């Protein structure tokens, strides 16, 4: 209960476009209820996992944009101060594709602060607490060398690597192997996996995934660097492109769940066409990125040459 109350208290403090806001939390007849901002869409996990099954990664511009928005949210969280003007020292501890929501409006929002550490918490948390998803932990955490906000930045960099690579980074055949992979922190170059990843993007990801926390950029520095990469390699990507990509994904997901009729399939295709027209108008007539390439597994990303277990998202 104490951790629930901590999450609710913290969530009500957070007000940022890239963070899910908690509106209310209370005990209703012995049941703890939290009322949170609604994000109509899916998790990053839900978006990329089906594409991985077809052996493809996310288009480079979209991946850079999503990662930038994630890091903007993290930078806000990491820099937040209390009413006394002192830093709250928030560490999310569970940054992963499971906890990043992508909306049909193009929003990208970090959620689930249930494991977060902060100065306002009442439930004690150990610095060496191993929480979150094993495949998204930082080496210093599994090696019990102490942790700080840089474990969140590391996890964000894992998310970017996986969006581009089209597979898991550290996932092993079992939990023990996953933890050993995290501790070794061997990160294949994205250039060996995808021909369309520029050298400077690969270098940025490698630096952000350094086993040495002191060598990694902060979440704010990551966001600024990603903004520059988006400007140079993003082909004008924006929230409208994310909205189209998520809209197509949700339509496909719902189609598969409901086994729709031919008429419903036609309506879904019409919706996709209208969404594309909307993005075209928003971008002043410039042809939009085609997220259907990602959805249908037709992206130009090469299949991974580095052979390792892809794994699933159970951890």
Q: What's the rounded Cα separation, in Å, for the pair 257 and 101?
A: 20
First to last CA, the chain: 23
Beta bridge partners of 24: 35
Identified catalytic residue from 6, 42, 94, 315: 94
Q: Is 94 a catalytic residue?
A: yes
Point out the residues that are catalytic: 94
């Amino acid at each position: 209960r104490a951790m629930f109350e901590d999450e609710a208290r913290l969530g009500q403090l957070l007000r940022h476009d890239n963070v899910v806001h908690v509106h209310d939390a209370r005990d209703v007849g012995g049941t703890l209820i939290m009322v949170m901002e609604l994000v109509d869409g899916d998790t990053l996990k839900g978006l990329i996992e089906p594409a991985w099954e077809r052996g493809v990664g996310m288009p480079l511009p979209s991946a850079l944009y999503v990662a930038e928005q994630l890091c903007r949210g993290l930078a806000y969280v990491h820099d937040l101060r209390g009413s006394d003007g002192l830093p709250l020292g928030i560490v999310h501890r569970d940054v992963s594709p499971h906890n990043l929501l992508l909306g049909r409006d193009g929003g990208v929002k970090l959620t689930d602060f249930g494991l977060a550490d902060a100065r306002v918490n009442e439930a004690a948390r150990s610095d060496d607490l191993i929480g979150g998803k094993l495949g998204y932990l930082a080496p210093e955490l599994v090696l019990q060398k102490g942790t700080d906000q840089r474990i969140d930045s590391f996890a964000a960099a894992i998310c970017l690597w996986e969006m581009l690579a089209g597979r898991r980074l550290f996932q092993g055949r079992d939990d023990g192997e996953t933890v050993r992979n995290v501790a070794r922190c061997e990160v294949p170059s994205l250039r060996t996996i995808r021909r369309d990843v520029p050298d400077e993007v690969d270098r940025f990801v490698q630096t952000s995934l350094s086993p040495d926390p002191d060598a990694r950029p902060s979440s704010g520095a990551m966001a600024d660097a990603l903004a520059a990469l988006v400007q140079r390699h993003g082909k004008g990507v924006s929230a409208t492109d994310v909205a189209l990509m998520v809209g197509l994904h949700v339509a496909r997901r719902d189609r598969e769940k409901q086994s729709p009729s031919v008429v419903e399939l036609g309506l879904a295709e019409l919706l996709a066409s209208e969404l594309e027209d909307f993005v075209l108008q928003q971008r002043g007539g410039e042809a939009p990125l085609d997220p259907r390439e990602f959805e249908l597994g037709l992206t130009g990303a090469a299949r991974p040459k580095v052979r390792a277990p892809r794994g699933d998202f159970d951890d």
